[in-house]
Amino acid sequence: MKKMLFTGILSLGLAATSLISTNFAQTPKNIKEWTYLIYINADNNLDKFGVGDLEEMAEIGSNENVNIVVQLDRAYGKPAKRYFVQKGDTNMVEDLGEVDMGSVKTLTEFVEWGSTNYPAEHYATVIWNHGSGWNKRATNGVFKGISYDDQSGNHITTAQLTGAAKDIRNILGKKLDIMAFDACLMQMLEVSYAMKDDVEIMLASQETEPGEGWAYNDSLKELVNKKGLTAQEVSTIIVDTYDASYDSGSQGNSSTTQSWVDLSKTDALVDALNVLAEQLMDGHKTQLKSAVASVQKFYYRSNVDLIHLLELLSPNLSGEASDACKKAIIAANAFVGHHATHGSKMKNSKGTAIYFPANGYSFSDKYLKLEFAKVSKWDEMLKSFYKASKTRMQDL
């Protein structure tokens, strides 16, 4: 599975020289409609897939409407390089040597360099790597975060994404149009909340992604040839081409999810969930336990689909609790701009996940440090539920 932590190292199928152009000249700084800044951290066991995705981009290439700009750091001691991708030519423009792609400073430096040299009216930043959701664990085993660099041992946490989003907004002088994750398990409300003030749209998968990740050739074919695309339209194209590519399409057949959310509607959703959480802390433990037992879960079983959870709860609530749940469903559906799923295992995936560990023993205290946890009553509701229900893992 791509963009989850593998146990083995993949062998490299392509020679490094196949990527490098002898043309180091950059294009003139004319302002285009879109610049796609794709941050490929393949300094890990995803090296082969990073090479493949760069070559997919070169099948389409930049044009008069769109800049495709890439920073690729490879494994096996190979240096990081920057590319201005043109049709049939990856066009390396800068050799950086070894860099730490798990550092937010490296990410923001790339965005500053890319937006300065390839200016546009709109920008999408894509973070390509392993992904695992909302937090960081400083122990061996599963880490939660994004952009794992095996050489440095570093990665970007959710809290650091907040700072990065603010820095990028300052660099661009406006909100970033799209922050996208070609990675696993990043489409969670906790992650969305971290960037809500500085990014318009977040695009990611609730579930793990296959090794090939996005179908860049499929999506870019549409993106470079259509003028006047809004951030919503760009995001919908990426979601739909990704979904089609794994539905017996260019990348085979796999169970997948992909969605984009409107971060301007984050606060309204959190407010609605807070009202519901207060109601759920006042009884309703049996109804909540039943809903959690049946809800759509993802690779990490503590990640559950928020909308599906609310829909399972709603018929079993009454009075103020029922009204609060219905309002939360409306807010959650407004928050999710567009989603697509493939495969029966993901049929109840509806666009955004939230943290709901199976029992109090598995609840992470580090969750309380998230900005989402500081302002929401979701964690208080979880603790109330565990205390009242004595829920055990085997019950769910």
pLDDT, tens only, 263-280: 999 999 999 999 999 999
What average pLDDT does the segment 379-391 reach?
A: 79
**Assigned token pair, 247:** 């539905």
How far is 38 from 71, CA to CA, in rounded Å?
6
pLDDT of residue 271: 98
> pLDDT category, 117, cuts 50, 70, 90?
very high
pLDDT of residue 130: 62
What average pLDDT does the segment 369-387 reach?
A: 91
Indicate if the pLDDT at residue 52 is higher than 50: yes
- Rounded to the nearest integer, the mean pLDDT of the chain is 86
What average pLDDT does the segment 114-130 reach?
A: 94
Nearest to 337 by CA among 391, 258, 225, 274: 258
What average pLDDT does the segment 299-312 reach?
A: 95
300 or 349: whose pLDDT is higher? 349
Report pTM.
0.89
Indicate if the pLDDT at residue 8 is higher than 50: no
SS3 218: helix
Nearest to 328 by CA among 258, 279, 367: 279
Domains parsed from the chain with CATH numbers? 16-264 (3.40.50.11970), 266-395 (no CATH)
- ∠ CA 156-160-164, rounded to 5°: 100
pLDDT of residue 11: 32
